[in-house]
Structures are given as structure tokens and as C-alpha cells.
Chains A and B, each alone.
Chain A
Amino acid sequence: MPANQPLWLRAVIRLERAIGEPIESAVRSETYFDVISASTRVRRKVLGTAEGVSKRCLHLLNLPAGSDIRTMRQQLARMERRLNQLSHDVAELDEDGSGPEAR
């Protein structure tokens, strides 16, 4: 800690370390990671259930759900990626040489 720091700053830094160190050891413990894993799973399960219910309701009304749109976006992204790859492949074939080093 630099000697020219004012007293109030030294006090804040000491206090932060006094509180921070036990918190850091807690959030690096196996128990913490087990709790976070379990809570993430529960949250995803709850969200998944809610999404399933809303999806069925929307489909009853013949409306698309968010998950339908998500699936469509993923399919479009895959298609766009494939098209990009094909255009790159064609461009590379047009250039001289055959290996990637020549491209």
C-alpha cells in the first residue's frame, strides 16, 4: 500500500479486504459452485415449464411462440452461414493456388 495514500483511502482498502477475503473464499468453495449449479438448473426448468405452457396457449390460437421464432432464426442463421461458406469456397477456387496458404 503506497505511503502517500490518505488515511481514509487506506481505511477503505483495509475494510474492503476484511470483507472481501471471506466473500472470495466463500464464492470459490465447492458448496458455492454446487448451489449455483442447482439454482441455474431450477431456474432453467421453471423458465422451460413456463415457456411450454405459453407455447401451447399460443399454438391453440394459431399464433407463433417465441421458441418458434427462435428455431426459425437458428435455421436461417445456419442457412446464411452455409451460403457464406459456399461463396468463400467459390472465391477461393477462383483465386490461384489450391491450399489455404495460397488464399
Chain B
Amino acid sequence: MNPRIPSTLNPADLLTRVNRDVERSILRARNGIRYVRGTHRPALGMTPKEVVWKRDKAELWRYRGGDRRYGPPVVIVHSLVSRSYILDLRPGNSTVEYLTREGLDVYMLDWGVPDELDADNDLERYVDYYLPRAVGAARRASGHDEVTLAGYCLGGVIAALYAAGHEDANVRNLILMATPVDYSEMGAMVALLREGRLDPDELIDETGNVPADALYSGFYMLAPTVEVAQKATLLENLWNDEFVEGFQAMATWSRDHVPFPGAAFRQLVDLLVRQNILMTGSMPLGGRQIDLGTVPSNVLNAMAERDNVVPPPAVEPVMQLVGDAARREELRLPGGHVTFGTGRSAFKHTMPKLTGWIIDHSDKPKPS
């Protein structure tokens, strides 16, 4: 028997259901018109913040709103291919808001939107120039000597190289969220860039960067028809303002990629994809060899079990490569690549577990 149809239906129940359906139809019509017109877009990245450091397009934001009870500060290093507001999507559905509310001093290193001026940005520029300065600014602003560094996706690679390559980095805790190290396991995401297929320069446009559209196409082709099911689900839930806002926020983010700086892209393809050099445990950068095993921090390797952008097998080797074996921990989370920023699973699993680990490895608040 269909569970949606009760065995007996009295007139009062029937009237209630008719009323509910009429109300929902009106709301569907209203929200449908708003959706098609593109009005009432949800506000994104709204947790109050201030810029504490800026260089070129890179900015370090410090989030306000919480009682900062724990130290050292948490500096989030975002990826180079997407917008950082995935970690601060909407009020009530935001990782940085959650961390801030739990008493952590949260900073976000946002790389901005690269253009022609950034075409020569190589990995050294991020690891040895921007990141040391941003971390220094976070230390000064917070008054702590150490930091907890949390890298998301490619930001995790940059954070790990910095922690290993700078003796004065003072990274107490290194959190790698969906950070790929074994590029032979990256599947479709990098298949076009393997030896014998496209060379990096064939994807770089006249600005000297890989255009955002090319990156979007790569993500889109992972599941080209799934949008149909998503739109059908939206249609069914169109009466629900909260659902529509969440859908629009995610749809905006998933289309909102940024160009990838050409010089860093060439290195990524040559060293990471074709040579799979991180799997050797070290990488040449800025005229020296960075050994990932020398990271002197507590390391948390967090991965999403249903991540189809950075699959778990690409992330798992962190547990053999980065830092000291006695100080590494692994965190497996249900959900996909965006579970670090949004979704039911993020609230139920990701945010509490990440926050708990950070607090366990932070200074305890002094009794007032």
C-alpha cells in the first residue's frame, strides 16, 4: 500500500490536505517566478569579517561574532579553483560560522579572482610568498605564535608544502581537507592532462590563465545529467523557501569557478599530475626539496567517502607521507566534496568532528 495514502481519510483531513496543497501551489508559483527572473538570490559569505591582510588579490579575512576562547588561530587556506564562500555559504549553513560560534579564532585566506596580472603566479608564489605573509598577519592579529592551518582541496597541498618547507612556520595543527596527493587516483578530473593528451598551454587562454569555463566544464562532465534530477527535486520543493535558497546558493557556487594561474597550472600538470611527485614524499620548489615527512605538526587527514572530485584513494596516502606517523589522524566523513562546507552531513558529522579535533589540539581557555 502506498504510505502516502492513509487507509481512512476523514473530511477534516481531506480539507487540511487540500488547503496545504493550495498553499504550496501558490508558494511554488511565487518562488518559480522569482527563480526564473533571477531575483531574490541568497546572500553568500555573510559571516561578519574584516580584512587583516591583503597582497595583490590575496586577502586574509578574520571572522567576527564569536567569543574567541581557543588558540591558536585557525587559518583556512582555500583552493585555487573555486570560490571560498563554499565554507561560508549561508547564515546557519556555514562552516566558518560554526567554528567561530564554537569559540575559535577563524581566518580565511582567499586568493581572489586571478587575471592577466596573476598569470605568472607559480606554486612558489603561493607557498613561499603569500602564505608566510598571511600566516604572519594572523599571528600578529591573534597574538599567538602558532597557527592551526586548514587547507581545503588544492589549498591543502599549498598548506602542507608551506608547513614542511618553512622551519619558522609554527603550524601546531595541519588539517588537510580533501587534499589530493596521489594524482594517479584522480580519475576523470586529470585524465585530459596525462602525458600524450593535452599540454597545459593548450588550455591556457590569452590572459595566461586557464579560463574558469574550462574548469567548470571539467566538473560538469563528471555527472552531466545529474542536473535533471536536481531540477526535478527543486520543482517538487519549490514551495519551501529554505530549500530554494539552499539550492540557489549551491547552484551559484558550483558554476562560480575562477581562472587558474597559468604558471601554477603548468607546475601542477608537470609535477603533480604527470610525475605524481607528491607520492615520492617530496617536491622541488623554489630551488629546494621539500620533504612532506618533516611537517612538525599534528596532522588531520579528512576525506569525504563519496567525494567524486577528489576520491578517497587520492587522499589516503597523506597518512604515509605527511608529518610524523605518531601525530597523524584520519577522519572519514560521509558525503561528497562539499561536505566540508554545506549540507546535512556537514552539520551532522563534518563540522562537529572537525571542531572537536581542533579544540582538542588547542589551548584550553583560561578560567575567567
Contacts and interface: CB of A to CB of B under 8 A. Distances in A.
Contacts of A36: 192
B202 A44 contact: yes
A78 B168 CA distance: 31
Given A9-B232, A103-B133, A34 B226 contact: no
A73 to B, nearest CB: 6
A28 B136 CA distance: 43
A5 B235 CA distance: 12
A72 to B, nearest CB: 11
Interface in B180-210: 187-188, 191-192, 194, 197-198, 202-203, 206, 208
Given A16-B228, A27-B224, A28-B187, A4 B117 contact: no
A67 to B, nearest CB: 8
Contact of A33 (B118, B139, B191): B191
Nearest to A43: B202
Interface residues of B, number: 39
Contacts of A23: 224-225
A20 B116 contact: no
Nearest to A18: B225
Contacts of B188: 27-28
Contacts of B232: 9, 12-13, 16
B119 interface: yes
B223 interface: yes
B208 A74 contact: yes
A20 B225 contact: yes
A17 B198 CA distance: 30
Given A3-B3, A20-B224, A27-B224, A103 B136 contact: yes
Interface in B53-87: 55-56
Given A13-B229, A99-B168, A78 B120 contact: yes
Interface string B249-266: 000000000000000000
Contacts of A96: none
A5 B236 contact: yes
A9 B133 CA distance: 51
B174 to A, nearest CB: 18
B136 A101 contact: yes
B32 interface: no
Nearest to B129: A100
A85 B187 CA distance: 38
A78 to B, nearest CB: 7
B236 A9 contact: yes
25 contacts: A4-B3, A12-B228, A13-B233, A16-B229, A16-B232, A19-B225, A20-B223, A20-B228, A23-B224, A24-B223, A24-B224, A24-B225, A27-B221, A27-B224, A28-B187, A41-B198, A70-B206, A74-B116, A78-B120, A81-B118, A100-B136, A101-B132, A101-B139, A101-B168, A102-B136
User: Closest 5 CB pairs between A and B?
Assistant: A20-B225, A77-B116, A37-B197, A12-B232, A16-B229
Given A4-B4, A88-B55, 6 more contacts: A6-B4, A20-B226, A40-B198, A77-B117, A84-B56, A100-B129
Interface of B: 3-4, 55-56, 115-120, 129, 132-133, 135-136, 139, 168, 187-188, 191-192, 194, 197-198, 202-203, 206, 208, 221-226, 228-229, 232-233, 236
